[in-house]
Amino acid sequence: MEAIGIGVWGVPLAVFAGAIRVSTPFIFVSLGEAITERSGRINLGLEGTLVFGAMTAYAVAVVTLSPWLGVLAAMAVGACFGIIHGFICKFPKVNDIAIGIAMMQFGLGLAFFLGKPFIQPAAPRLPAIAFGAWSDLPQIQAALNINVLFLVGAALALVFWWASRNTRVGLILRVVGDSSDAARAMGLNPDTVRLFATAAGGALAAIGGAYLSLYYPGSWNEGISSGQGLMAVALVIFARWNPIGCSLAALLFGGAGALGPALQSVGVTKGYYLFYAAPYVLTLVIMIATSSPTRSLAGAPGALSITK
């Protein structure tokens, strides 16, 4: 039995493969949210943006037969969602969290409404690179078949980390997020900076959606996201607004999410459903473990409405 010859080693391998496969949308959504929150605003609507991005990418890919055009279209609508959020939040006494929840419901509803005709047809998938071609084991080949978007996401995390301290845009983003007053004293308009940051965040989150519908699971249906956009927000806080931390945390979540299927595949038949809940339990545990009633969060952008 050569095919299952790696036995129990299949579990860590499957968790590794799962981490990479499942984490990609988390990476994009959390990077998008990190940029938005670094500018001092919270966009809870990214769940809606994610699902709407998934629908748009799938529909455009079905029609044009090009998955990459689908990704671009998703980015464009994601940016539009971000601009709507950023524009509404510009008005005084508007709460960004409430608008985010409204935008989330809006995005979900609109995606379900417009996406109905695209549940049946099949779209072309995004390409993956076979890093495992050197091996004879199909498990290893499958695990090392890595999607291009994952590599893009990982590279973006590094670029954002570098840019936040070495470019003008990065410094301006941090200034606005840390102190609206200081930003105004420098002649910057915090609302404009936040509008762009929210738009960029929306575009990134929509790429995560495109990955969902065009690669893994690779189809469009209404249950495609199951709250990943919301969990990514929690992940940003856990990662302390650090882009590299975001992608590491996303990998951790992805690995946890792959635990259930991996155990099932090696023949654990009892209780594996419990492991399906692992990412959610992990969210709770991490939030409890890293919060404290007696001290404030280190590294939080000062102008964020939850840290005031």
What is the contact surface with another protein in residues (CB under 8 A)?
A: 165-169, 171-172, 174-175, 178-179, 181-182, 185-187, 292, 294-296, 298-299, 301-302
Q: Which is nearer to another protein, 1 or 288 (CB)?
A: 288
Q: Which is nearer to another protein, 172 or 231 (CB)?
A: 172
Nearby residues of 199 by Cβ (< 8 Å), 6 or more positions away:
79, 80, 82, 83, 86
Are 126 and 149 a contacting pair, CB within 8 Å?
Answer: yes
Comparing C-alpha atoms, which of 27, 166, 55, 200 is closest to residue 121?
Answer: 55
Q: Which is nearer to another protein, 171 or 287 (CB)?
A: 171
Are 58 and 220 a contacting pair, CB within 8 Å?
Answer: yes
Strand partners, 97: none
Q: Which is nearer to another protein, 117 or 293 (CB)?
A: 293
Q: How far is CA 274 from CA 91, 182, 264, 270, 282, in A?
A: 45, 49, 11, 9, 12
| Distance of closest approach, residue 43 Cβ to another protein, in angstroms | 21
Are 220 and 64 a contacting pair, CB within 8 Å?
Answer: no
| Distance of closest approach, residue 193 Cβ to another protein, in angstroms | 12
| Distance of closest approach, residue 92 Cβ to another protein, in angstroms | 17
| Distance of closest approach, residue 51 Cβ to another protein, in angstroms | 33
Q: Which is nearer to another protein, 36 or 219 (CB)?
A: 36
Q: Which is nearer to another protein, 21 or 174 (CB)?
A: 174
| Distance of closest approach, residue 162 Cβ to another protein, in angstroms | 10
Q: Between vectors from CA 127 to CA 126 and to CA 130, what angle results, nearest 5°? A: 150
| Distance of closest approach, residue 178 Cβ to another protein, in angstroms | 5
Q: Can you tell me the distance from the alpha carbon of 144 to that of 141, in angstroms, rounded to the nearest whole number?
A: 5
| Distance of closest approach, residue 203 Cβ to another protein, in angstroms | 20
DSSP secondary structure string, 53-106?
HHHHHHHHHHHHS-HHHHHHHHHHHHHHHHHHHHHHHTSTT--HHHHHHHHHHH
Q: Which is nearer to another protein, 124 or 170 (CB)?
A: 170
CB count in 10 Å sphere of residue 11: 17
Comparing C-alpha atoms, which of 85, 19, 22 is closest to residue 52?
Answer: 85
Are 49 and 171 a contacting pair, CB within 8 Å?
Answer: no
Q: Can you tell me the distance from the alpha carbon of 194 to that of 196, in angstroms, rounded to the nearest whole number?
A: 5
Q: Which is nearer to another protein, 23 or 36 (CB)?
A: 36
| Distance of closest approach, residue 290 Cβ to another protein, in angstroms | 11
